[in-house]
Structure formats: structure tokens, C-alpha cells
Structure 1
Amino acid sequence: MIRVTMIEDEKEIAHFHSLFLKKVDGFELVSKALTFEEGIQQLKTFKPDLLLLDVYIGDQNGLDILKQVRLEERNIDVILITSANDTYTVQTGYRFGVIDYLVKPFTFARFKEALQRYQAMRQETQQGSFVQKEIDQFIQRTEKASAVEKRSFPKGITEVTAMRILHALAEAGEVWKTAAELEEATTISHVSLRKYLRFFDEQSFIQKDLVYLTHGRPFNRYRLSEQGREFLDKNDFV
């Protein structure tokens, strides 16, 4: 049985995640914390195998718990469950070894997939030693799973619309495009387009250049960044 601790400051969300966990065989919720300090104490007391960790815990950051767990070399695996989808949080989670990253809101199917993937990983890594082929297979499956997870978008951002805009930028190559030009190329409304461009900028998928005019207000123009091209190459499923 895999022992689980959950740190989530919203009672209702914690309740639903607890119900989700009960539906997946092989897992037991041994403790549930609503505050940062309570979470730290429960990790010391219960020594779980798996931590389901929120990032926004009151006015504190769950990433600090993740960093502390790694600094103290505790044998705890971590799944981030959060509404935080900014570049810093995603990269920090990856660098400090989270095994999965679930962006709220998510379905039970995605939650179950994350737990069962972790379950399989634990079983595969229980043997005493590995040959190179076994290590390669394990790493490749992990990287493939990460690539699939990168397809997830936050609430209000849809895959189809995002890919349509990214494709328009990709087709322009190195040519800068204004929002008006992208609006015409994609037939997406001005308000929606601005929302997606803000999201792409936060994820470093685009480059933004502010153009100043002799007369009139300055304006932004955009083109696809190298990171955006890599994302499009890996996730071009539309």
C-alpha cells in the first residue's frame, strides 16, 4: 500500500481529492494538511511515500516544501496539484524532481492516470540493479509522459485555438506579426487573441517587440520563439 500525504489549503478541494484517492486501488491517505506548517509536521510524523502538494498554501509557497524535502534527502515522491501554470513553477517542479504535475481543474481520469503511472514506476524500480536497456526504457517512458503532459492548458485556454495561433506565427517564420494581422489570419476575436498572446508570453512561447512611432501610440508585434517552436513540434496534434 502506497502511503499518501496531501497538503491543500482549500477544504472542499481537499475533500474531493480525498474521494478521488479512495477510488484508486493501492493508495492510502495517511494525513491531510490545510496549512504550510501543518504539512511540514505531518511529513515528519507520517513519513509518506507520496506527497500531493498544492503550490498556493495561504500566503506561502508549496515549492518551499518541495525544496526542503529534497534538501533533507527524504525518500518522498511528489505530485504537484495546483492552479499555478507559470514557467517558473513548472520548471522548478521539474528541476526538483516532481513525478507529475496536475493543473486544476482536472478530471478523475487524469488523476487516476498520474497515480497509476507512479504505481508502475515504483514497481519497476524495486529490483536491485538495472541493465542499460531497462534504464533507457524507463527514462524514455518518463520523457514521453512529460511530453504528453505539456499538452495540458489552463482553464480558458483551449488546445485548438492555441494551436491555430501558434501555427499562424510559425508560418510567418522570422517575420514579426501585429495582433491585427494575427486576428485576420486566424479569424479569432481581438479580445480572445490578446488573452492567448498574454498566455504565450508567460510561457515564453513568443517574442514580443514594442514598436514606437513618430506619431501615435506604440504597438506590440510578435513572433514565435525557439521554445514555442519546440512546443509546437512536440504537441502538433491538431
Structure 2
Amino acid sequence: MIKVLIVDDDFMVAKVHAGFIQRTPGFAVLGVAHTGAQAVLETQRLQPDLVLLDIHLPDANGLDLMHRLREVAPDLDVLVISAAREVETVRKALRGGIVHYLIKPFSQADLQERLEHYLHAYHGLDSSKAEAEQSDVNRVFGLGTSERTLPKGCSVETLERVEETLKAASGDLSAAEVAEELGTSRVSARRYLEYLHDAGAVDVKLKYGVGRPERRYVLKGR
């Protein structure tokens, strides 16, 4: 479970972001801070894995604050969430070693996509093996995925999890079974499965019973 601290001066915005995170499998909100000083204290106390950090705080600039947060939590990762659009601000954030920069306002799907990339790229790199392959590094930096144009709201990271679920299965699976395995909705799982079917990666089998036949998915060649 990825432990998250939200740092935003707007109480309602922080609450909305917390709701987005709690609905993303693999993440849990540890706490919320509304000032730079509070963020330092909460980071030291809670030792989160990831901070969602706003730049404009009443007592600090978020980009300057990153260094203070890492002094009390050296392994901390930072995802900037801000209305700041200045190119130099984005460049400074990148030089500070952020994992992503998300411009407000954004949707739950926008944030979920970044969180899923962080979960599977950064944490997958930490735990998967002693030495990284180039493909592992490419995944961290978001390379090697341009050939897949996904429907709006879908992410490459979730698509990869769907494919892994199908590979691990002993036979065909329904959208409901894939959704249960991934912790997503059946509708979301079916979108990914139908995408794979349209791309020619999976076959569909129809299971007949009472009512409409159930669509079941299996990787080609299985």
C-alpha cells in the first residue's frame, strides 16, 4: 500500500483529492497538511511514500519545501498538483526530482492515471529485481508506450495489469472476474478487454445461459 500525504492550502480541494486517492487501488491517505510548516511536521511524523504537493502555500513555496520534506523523509517521492503553469516553474519542479506534474483542475481519471504509473513503474522498479533492464527504466520515464492509443480515461499501466491477469489465468475470464482481480469496476475492465480484443490480442468466447450470453476473454494462443 502506497502511503500518501496531501499538502494543499484549500481544505475542500484537499478533501476532493483525498477522495480520488482513496478510490485508487493500492493507495491510502495518511493525512493532510495545509501549510508548509504543517507539511514538514506531518512528513516527519507519518513518513509517507508519496506527497501530493501544491506549490502555492501560505507560508512556503512548494518547490522550495520539497528539500525540507526530504530532509525528514529521505526516500520521499513528490507529485506536484498545482494551478501554476509557468514553464520555468515546471522546469524547476522537474529539476527537483518530482514523479509527475499535474495542472489543476484535473479529473479523477487524470490523477488515477498518474498514480497507477507511479505504482507500477517506480515501485515495480524497486521490488522486481536486483538489476534494471532498459525496459524497466523506459517504463519509469513513460517511454515505449506511444504505440498504444487508449480510449480516454484509460491508462497503459492498468492495461498491463489486465494483460498480466489474463496471462496468469488458467482459462478464459469474464469482465467481472478481471474487475474483481484488479479492484476496478466491471465496466472499466470490459473497456480494457474490448480494447485488447479490437487490437487482436485476445479472443472472445460466448458462454450461453439464462439471458444474454456472457463474453469471456482469453489471450490468443491459449
Cα distance per residue 1:126-167 (max 9 Å; x no partner): 145215xx1x2233234346x99xxxxxxxxxxxxxxxxxxx
Once structures 1 and 2 are overlaid, which stretch shifts more, 67-76 or 98-107?
67-76
The runs of at least 4 consecutive aligned structure 1 residues that moved more than 4 Å come to 70-73
Contact 2:2 2:26 in 1 (8 A): yes
Per-residue deviation, 1:66: 1.0
CA distance in 1, matches of 2:15, 2:73: 29
2-structure distance, mates of 1:73, 1:91: 23
CA distance in 1, matches of 2:48, 2:70: 14
CA distance, structure 1, for counterparts of residue 108 and residue 130 of structure 2 = 34
Structure 2 match to 1:130: 131
CA positional deviation for 1:73:
6.7
Residue 17 of structure 1 is matched in structure 2 by 17
How does 1:67-216 map onto structure 2 within 5 Å? 67-70=67-70, 74-121=74-121, 122-131=123-132, 134=133, 136-144=134-142
**1:86-142 CA distance string (max 9 Å, x none):** 1221111111110011000011111000110011020232145215xx1x2233234
Q: Is the 8 A contact 1:54 1:62 kept in 2?
A: yes
Task: State the alpha-carbon separation in 2 of the partners of residues 65 and 52 from structure 1.
Answer: 12
Name the CA shift for 1:72/1:42 in 2 (closer, same or farther; >3 Å): closer
* TM-score, normalization by structure 1: 0.56
Q: State whether residues 70 and 96 of structure 1, in contact with CA within 8 Å, keep that contact through their aligned partners in structure 2.
A: no
Local SS of the residue matching 1:29: strand
User: Is the contact made by 2:7 and 2:33 (CA closer than 8 Å) also made in structure 1?
Assistant: yes
Q: Is the 8 A contact 1:51 1:79 kept in 2?
A: yes
In the alignment, the residues of structure 2 paired with residue 128 and residue 111 of structure 1 have an alpha-carbon distance, to the nearest angstrom, of 27
Percent of aligned positions that are identical: 29
More helix by share: 1
- 3-state SS in 2 of match to 1:3: strand
Secondary structure at the aligned position of 1:78 is classed as strand
| Distance in 1 of aligned mates of 2:111 and 2:142 | 18
Tell me how far apart the structure 2 counterparts of residues 23 and 112 of structure 1 sit (CA, whole Å): 9
Structure 1 gap segments, 5+ residues each: 149-238
TM-score, normalising length: structure 2:
0.60
- Is the CA contact (8 Å cut-off) linking 2:35 and 2:59 kept in structure 1? no
Q: Which amino acid is 2:100 matched to?
A: D
Distance 1:39 1:72 in 2: 11
Q: Deviations over 1:49-87 (max 9, x none)?
A: 011000001252111111223456711111000001212
Coordinate RMSD, CA, aligned: 2.1
**C-alpha contact 1:85 1:103 (8 A) present in aligned 2:** yes
Q: 1:73 to 1:94 in 2, by over 3 A?
A: same
Task: Report if aligned partners of 1:82, 1:103 keep a CA contact under 8 Å in 2.
Answer: yes
CA contact (8 A) 2:40 2:69 kept: no
Shift of 1:26: 1.1
1:41 aligns with 2:41: yes
Contact 2:39 2:69 in 1 (8 A): no
Match of 2:152 in 1: none
Change (3 A) 1:20 1:73: closer
